[in-house]
Structure 1
Amino acid sequence: MILIIYCHPYEQSFNHAELKAIKENLSAGQREYEIIDLYAEHFNPVYSTEELQLYHRGETTDPLVTKYLKLCQQADTVIFITPYWWNSIPGMLKGFVDKVMKEGLGLSHTVTKTGVKGELTNVKHCYVFTTSTSPTWYIRFFLGNAIKKVFINKTLRQLGFRNISWNNFGGISNSSLYRRRKYLAKLTKQPFK
């Protein structure tokens, strides 16, 4: 099953257009997919004291956390669609990782003497689609490429995700309608494993 984790509050955003193009792609290929729409589902990314006390037991007070973790455990492919805000993922998506990724055998990860061992090895392929005001080359070479260095190479790999690719539509604010349409057309045909 393919799991799409979508993180944008505005339905007229380019991220939403990406979501539509990817859904069209998967439907045309008769691929089974589920969508987690963090904003539409009113996910609360903030820990309460009570919720945080349950963390090391792998428990939660939030039914969405339970639902989302189960979906992550069932997926063999995960697709993230998110803006790239202030050199990182939005707080909503960071809160998703903080709250949903529960410590414990059979959950998302276990802690060993040498560090974190990912339990989500069922995720064989992961695609991260971002949009940014900055051009992609500027993110890579002048801003430190935090999305690749931290979110992809550290966080997602620590959770057990493999074969992760990052696609950024940079310079979104000054992009032409032609460039946007061309990119979306490419997404409707991109092969997803």
Structure 2
Amino acid sequence: MRVLVLYAHPVETSFQAAVHRTVVEALTRAGHQVDDCDLYAEGFDPVLSRQERIDYHDLARNRRNVDPYVERLLNAEALVLVYPVWNFGFPAILKGYFDRVFLPGVSFRMEGGKAVNNLQNIRKLAAVATYGGARWKALLVGDPPRKNVKRVLRAQTRPFGRVPYLAHYDMNRSTEATRSAFLRSVSKEMERF
């Protein structure tokens, strides 16, 4: 299966970088064809410009600045997001990816004034995230990243099947043992993805 891995963390020595490596290695071991999109390393610009917003609903123009990213998304059969949760949300670069790449004609199409999901090529979806705070804090605010993956993104792709959401909470107080256990869980989940 062709898997697009979207990775969003700027520090190559971080635990998130180890999580990213684990995801890519496990998917590769499982025989998947991995398109590893490291948004920071690729210098992805997350800012939706004024002109891009003006051209947003113009299907002939809206892809022009992000067409290579659109093509990668449309060529994928699965999508795996790897990111830290910052301020109970996606990192800005990942949010900007969704703003700039999940365009009309790409992630949805308009039919009779209604948005219809368009990413039927994405048959599987997963996310691997780390949170600085405890799970109860994320739950207290509704855990927006989890909801975005399991509800919003799921609705834009093929809507059936499970959506693994692997999260290591309380990174601020994590230990070598908790981090190692999480990496093992990630590896197992990605090998059976």
TM over 0.5: yes
Is 1:157–2:154 an aligned residue pair?
Answer: yes
Is 1:41–2:42 an aligned residue pair?
Answer: yes
Structure 1, gaps ≥5 residues long: none
SS in 2 for 1:87: coil
Rate the CA distance shift 1:47–1:80 in 2: closer, same or farther, 3 A.
same
Rate the CA distance shift 1:60–1:69 in 2: closer, same or farther, 3 A.
closer
8 Å CA contact retained: 1:136, 1:168: no
**TM-score of the superposed pair, with normalisation by structure 2:** 0.88
- Whole-Å separation in 2 of the counterparts to 1:121 and 1:20: 27
Is 1:108–2:111 an aligned residue pair?
Answer: no
Structure 2, gaps ≥5 residues long: none
Rate the CA distance shift 1:77–1:50 in 2: closer, same or farther, 3 A.
same
> 1:130-177 CA distances to partner (integer Å, 9 max, x unpaired)?
10111223312x1212123344312x1342253422111000111011
8 Å CA contact retained: 1:116, 1:158: no
- Whole-Å separation in 1 of the counterparts to 2:181 and 2:73: 31
User: Which amino acid is 1:37 matched to?
Assistant: D
- RMSD over aligned CA atoms reads 1.8
8 Å CA contact retained: 2:166, 2:186: no
- Whole-Å separation in 2 of the counterparts to 1:135 and 1:115: 38
SS in 2 for 1:126: strand
- Whole-Å separation in 2 of the counterparts to 1:122 and 1:14: 31
Aligned residues: 187
**TM-score of the superposed pair, with normalisation by structure 1:** 0.88
Counterpart mapping for 1:1-193 below 5 A:
1-58=2-59, 59-62=62-65, 65-104=66-105, 107-113=106-112, 115-140=114-139, 142-154=140-152, 156-162=153-159, 163=161, 164-190=163-189, 191-193=191-193
